[in-house]
C-alpha cells in the first residue's frame, strides 16, 4: 500500500462522511439541498474508497446506515422485517455484473433465475400492518430498523384499503408519493400563496406524511404504490411476481410497472423502455429496480446489513434539455409579490413536460441575462423544480428581447414597488383582484375589523360566487347572500350580518391596521390614529410630516404616503365611508388618564391570569407608557406571566426590572 495514496484516501473519506451525513439528514428532514445525482456520485466515491481501503470503514459511515433519525413527536415502531435500501448501479455493465453473481447462486442452489423489473418510485417508503384483514398500524422506514408511527396520516390516503378482501395477517411495503399533476398544482397554489415551493415531489410527499397533525396530511394529494410483501404467516409465495398479483387481489394499489423478464437481457431492455417512457408515467421515478423473482433464491442469497444482495436499482443520469423562451410574463401572488415566469417551448425533462418555470425576480433575470427568444438550458435533476441554468448565447440571432420588470401591477395597474434591501417587486393596490382573498382575510381578522364568522372558507366561497369583488362589498352583503353559503344557514347568516354591522364602529386604529399597509401593524396603527385623529388627516399627511413621528422610519413613511396616493385606496376609503364605517378616533380610544407611566417602556411575555396582553398594553398606553415587542437596554419593565419564554431570560441577563401581574396592578393603583 502506498502511504501517500492511503493518506489522500483517508483525508477524502473524512471530508465525504460528514458531508453525506448532512445531506442525508436534510433529505430525511424533507429538505433536499443537492440533487439525487450529486448525492449518488459522492456516495459512490466514498464506497469506492472504502472498498479499496476497508480499514477506513467506520460504524458511523453513511455507507453503513439506512435512513435517518426519528422525528420528535412520533412513536417509534420497530420493523419485524427491516426496510432496507437498495444497491445503486449506474451502468448496464454493473447490471450484468449483478446478473453474473445471481447466475452463480442459482447454479449453486439449483434454482431457476428470472427477474422482475419495476419503476423505483420517488417517494417515502412505508410499511402497512394488517391484522385479520384490518389496517392496524403504518410506519415510515426511518433507519430501516426503527420507523415512525404515522398510522393516522396513512389512513388519510384514499388508495390505502382500511380493510382487505380477505381476513389475513400481512405486512406490506409501499412508496408514498404525489403524482406529477398533483405536485405541479400544489406548487402553483403555494406560489400564489407566496409560500415556499417544494423542491420536488419526494420532499412534498415525505413532508406531508410526517406531519404531526393528520389534518394537514389529509389536505395533501398523497398516493401510494405497494411493491412488496414484508411478512405473512397465513400464505406462502414461490415468486415475487405471484405475490404482487395477490396483493392486487387483496385490494392494494400495486406498482403498475412490474414486468416479468426471463433473463438479464430482457431486464435491461425493460430498463431502457422505462427510461424512454418516463414522460408518460403519471408519477415521478428516480430509477428502475431489478429483483430476483424466485423467493427461495432470494433467501439463499441473503442480504448485507444495509441492502439485499438479490436486487439492484439502476439510476438514470440527470437530464438537461435545451428549449426556447417564448415569453416572460409576471404573476401576482396573494400578498402582491410580482414573480416573472418564463413561458417555454414545451420540452420533456426527467419524465415530465416543462412549459414554464419561475425566474424568481428581476435580479435573477439580469444575472443570467435571460431574454425573450433565447435558447436556454433547463435542468430537472432528481425531479427538482425545473430551472433555467444557462443561456446558450452562441445561438442568439440578435432578435432576442431583453426583459424589464414592470413598473405597474400587470393585474390591476397599481404602482409596483421594490423596497430597499428586497429582491421582490410588489403591487401596492389594495383593490387588486390577485390580492383580494388575502386582503379580505386580513381586513376581517381579530386585530383588524374583527368580523366574527368571516373566516377563510367563507371568504373564498363569497369570492367564488362573485358575491364580493372588493373589501367594501362586505358591507353590501344581504341575509340572502350569506344564507346561500350553508344549508339551513339562517342563524349563521344573521350572526355574520350582525358582526359586519358591528365592525362599522371599530376604533380608527383597527381600520388603519385592516388596510394592510406594508410595515404598519397594530401597535403602529394605534400610534398613527392617536396622532392624526381622522382618516382624512392621515390621507393628507405629507411624507415629511409622517417622518416626524418617532416610531416611523423613512421606509415606513414612504410606504404609508404612497399607499394613500393610489387611486384604488381613495376609491376604497370613499366606499367604506359610504357604507358607514367609522373614520375617526373615538372619544374613548387611546385616552390617557394620567402620566404615571410616561417615558416608560414595557415588554409583555407569557400568559396573564386576569387580563389579556392586549388589555394590559391598553392600560399601559392609557397611563402614558408604551410597549415594545423585544427586550433591550431601553426596556424599563418586563411584565411576565405564566410560561414566559426567551424574553424573560434576556431581561434577567440585562438586569431589567421584572414584574408579575399583581405588581403591575399595584403600580396602576387598582
* pLDDT tens digits for range 153-165: 999 999 999 999 9
Average pLDDT over residues 25-33: 57
Q: Which strands make up the sheet holding 87-89, listed edge to edge?
A: 87-89, 311-314, 285-292, 115-121, 258-261
Q: CA 24, 196, 424 angle in degrees (round to 5)?
A: 130
Residue 508 backbone phi and psi in degrees, to 5: -60, -40
Instruction: Note the residue count of the chain.
Output: 670
Question: Nearest to residue 337, comparing CAs of 362, 365, 364?
Answer: 362
Where does the pLDDT of residue 350 fall: very low under 50, low under 70, confident under 90, or very high at 90 and above?
low
- Out of 66-75, 171-180, 396-405, 465-474, pick the least confident: 66-75
Q: What is the pLDDT of residue 68?
A: 53
- The span from the CA of 386 to the CA of 408, in Å, is 28
Which of 319-333, 371-385, 389-403, 443-457 has the least mean pLDDT?
A: 371-385
Work out the pLDDT band at 382, boundaries 50, 70, 90: very low
Position 40 scores a pLDDT of 73
C-alpha torsion angle, residues 583, 589, 592, 598 (rounded to 10) = -80
Asked which of 117-131, 511-525, 571-585 is least confident by mean pLDDT, the reply is 511-525
**pLDDT band (50, 70, 90) for residue 527:** confident
Residue 27 above 90 pLDDT? no
Check 17, 120, 180, 435 and give the catalytic one. 120
Model pLDDT for residues 484-522, shown as the tens digit of each residue: 888 777 888 999 999 999 999 999 999 999 999 988 988
The residue with cell 428502475 is 288
Largest Cα span, the chain:
98
Give the phi and the psi of residue 419 in degrees, each rounded to 5. -80, 155
Domains, the chain, in order of start with CATH, read 3-64 (1.10.287.610), 76-314 (3.30.470.30), 320-402 (2.40.50.140), 433-579 (1.10.150.20), 601-668 (3.40.50.10190)
- Which three three-digit cell numbers place residue 1? 500500500
Rg for the chain, CA atoms, rounded: 31
Please confirm, yes or no, whether 120 is among the known catalytic residues: yes
Report CA-CA distances (Å) from 358 to 331, 349, 370: 10, 16, 12
What distance in Å separates the CA atoms of residue 416 and residue 429, rounded to the nearest whole number? 9
Strand-strand pairing, 285-292 and 311-314: antiparallel
* Confidence label for 33 from pLDDT (cuts 50, 70 and 90): low
Q: Is 466 exposed, middle or buried (0-12, 13-18, 19+ CB in 10 A)?
A: exposed
- Label each residue of 506-564 as H, E or C: CCHHHHHHHCCCCCCCHHHHHHHHHHHCEHHHHHHCCHHHHHCCCCCCHHHHHHHHHHC
Which of the two residues, 509 and 10, has the higher pLDDT score? Answer: 509
Q: Say if residues 534 and 469 touch (Cβ distance below 8 Å).
A: no
Write b or e for each residue in 250-276: b if 16 or more Cβ atoms lie within 10 A of its Cβ, otherwise e.
bbbbbbebbbbbeebeebbebbeebbe
For residue 90, the surrounding DSSP H or E stretch is none
- For 651-666, write each residue's pLDDT tens digit: 888 889 999 999 998 8
pLDDT tens per residue, range 239-273: 999 999 999 999 999 999 999 999 999 999 999 99
Whole-number pLDDT of residue 444: 94
**C-alpha cell of residue 41:** 456520485
| Predicted local confidence at residue 352, as pLDDT | 65
Residues 6+ apart with CB under 8 A from 573: 535, 539, 583
State the Cα–Cα distance between residues 61 and 445, nearest whole angstrom.
52
Amino acid at each position: 500500500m502506498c502511504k501517500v495514496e492511503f493518506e489522500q484516501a483517508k483525508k477524502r473519506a473524512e471530508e465525504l462522511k460528514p458531508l453525506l451525513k448532512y445531506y442525508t439528514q436534510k433529505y430525511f428532514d424533507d429538505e433536499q439541498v443537492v440533487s439525487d445525482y450529486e448525492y449518488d456520485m459522492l456516495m459512490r466515491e466514498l464506497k469506492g474508497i472504502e472498498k479499496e481501503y476497508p480499514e477506513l470503514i467506520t460504524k458511523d459511515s453513511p455507507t453503513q446506515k439506512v435512513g435517518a433519525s426519528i422525528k420528535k413527536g412520533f412513536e417509534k415502531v420497530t420493523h419485524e422485517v427491516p426496510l432496507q435500501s437498495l444497491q445503486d448501479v449506474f451502468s448496464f455493465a454493473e447490471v450484468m455484473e449483478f446478473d453474473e453473481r445471481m447466475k452463480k447462486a442459482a447454479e449453486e442452489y439449483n434454482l431457476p433465475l428470472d427477474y422482475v423489473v419495476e419503476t423505483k418510485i420517488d417517494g417515502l417508503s412505508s410499511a402497512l400492518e394488517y391484522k385479520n384483514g384490518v389496517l392496524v398500524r403504518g410506519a415510515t422506514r426511518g433507519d430501516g430498523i426503527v420507523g415512525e408511527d404515522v398510522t393516522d396520516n396513512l389512513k388519510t390516503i384514499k388508495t390505502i384499503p382500511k380493510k382487505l378482501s380477505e381476513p389475513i395477517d400481512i405486512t406490506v411495503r409501499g412508496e408514498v408519493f404525489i403524482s406529477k399533476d398533483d405536485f405541479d398544482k400544489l406548487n402553483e397554489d403555494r406560489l400564489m400563496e407566496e409560500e415556499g415551493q417544494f423542491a420536488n415531489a419526494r420532499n412534498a410527499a415525505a413532508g406531508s406524511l410526517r406531519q404531526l397533525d393528520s389534518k394537514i396530511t389529509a389536505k395533501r394529494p398523497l398516493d401510494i404504490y405497494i411493491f412488496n410483501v414484508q411478512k405473512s404467516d397465513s400464505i406462502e409465495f414461490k415468486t415475487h411476481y405471484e405475490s404482487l398479483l395477490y396483493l392486487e387481489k387483496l385490494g392494494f394499489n400495486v406498482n403498475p410497472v412490474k414486468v416479468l423478464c426471463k433473463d438479464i437481457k430482457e431486464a435491461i431492455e425493460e430498463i431502457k423502455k422505462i427510461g424512454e417512457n418516463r414522460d408518460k408515467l403519471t408519477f415521478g421515478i428516480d430509477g428502475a429496480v431489478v429483483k430476483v423473482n424466485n423467493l427461495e433464491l432470494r433467501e439463499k442469497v441473503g442480504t448485507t446489513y444495509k441492502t439485499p444482495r438479490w436486487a439492484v436499482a439502476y439510476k438514470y443520469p440527470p437530464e438537461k434539455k435545451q428549449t426556447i423562451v417564448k415569453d416572460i410574463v409576471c404573476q401576482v401572488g396573494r400578498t402582491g409579490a410580482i414573480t416573472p415566469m418564463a413561458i417555454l417551448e414545451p420540452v420533456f425533462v426527467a419524465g415530465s413536460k416543462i412549459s414554464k418555470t419561475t425566474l424568481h425576480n428581476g435580479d435573477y433575470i439580469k444575472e443570467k441575462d435571460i431574454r425573450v427568444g433565447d435558447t436556454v438550458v433547463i435542468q430537472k435533476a432528481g425531479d427538482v423544480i425545473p430551472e433555467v441554468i444557462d443561456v446558450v448565447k452562441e445561438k442568439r440571432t440578435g432578435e432576442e428581447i431583453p426583459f424589464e420588470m414592470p413598473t405597474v401591477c400587470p393585474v390591476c395597474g397599481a404602482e409596483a414597488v421594490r423596497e430597499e434591501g428586497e429582491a421582490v417587486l410588489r403591487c401596492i393596490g389594495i383593490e387588486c383582484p390577485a390580492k383580494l382573498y388575502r386582503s379580505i382575510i386580513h381586513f376581517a381578522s381579530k386585530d383588524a375589523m374583527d368580523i366574527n364568522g368571516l373566516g377563510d372558507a367563507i371568504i373564498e366561497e363569497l369570492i367564488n360566487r362573485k358575491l364580493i369583488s372588493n373589501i367594501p362589498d362586505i358591507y353590501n352583503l344581504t341575509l340572502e347572500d350569506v344564507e346561500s353559503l350553508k344549508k339551513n344557514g339562517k342563524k349563521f347568516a344573521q350572526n355574520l350580518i350582525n358582526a359586519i354591522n358591528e365592525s362599522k364602529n371599530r376604533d380608527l386604529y383597527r381600520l388603519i391596521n385592516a388596510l394592510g399597509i406594508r410595515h404598519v401593524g397594530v401597535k403602529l396603527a394605534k400610534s398613527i390614529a392617536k396622532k392624526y385623529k381622522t382618516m382624512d388627516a392621515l390621507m393628507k399627511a405629507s411624507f415629511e410630516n409622517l417622518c416626524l413621528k418617532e416610531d416611523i422610519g423613512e421606509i415606513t413613511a414612504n410606504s404609508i404616503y404612497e399607499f394613500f396616493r393610489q387611486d384604488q385606496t381613495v376609491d376604497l376609503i370613499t366606499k367604506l365611508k359610504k357604507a358607514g364605517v367609522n373614520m375617526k378616533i373615538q372619544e374613548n380610544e387611546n385616552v390617557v388618564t394620567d402620566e404615571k407611566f410616561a417615558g416608560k417602556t414595557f415588554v409583555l411575555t407569557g400568559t396573564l391570569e386576569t387580563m389579556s396582553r392586549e388589555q394590559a398594553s391598553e392600560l399601559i398606553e392609557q397611563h402614558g407608557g408604551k410597549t415594545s415587542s423585544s427586550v433591550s437596554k431601553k426596556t424599563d419593565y418586563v411584565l411576565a406571566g405564566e410560561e414566559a419564554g426567551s424574553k424573560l431570560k434576556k431581561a434577567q441577563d440585562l438586569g431589567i426590572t421584572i414584574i408579575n401581574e399583581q405588581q403591575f396592578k399595584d403600580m396602576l393603583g387598582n
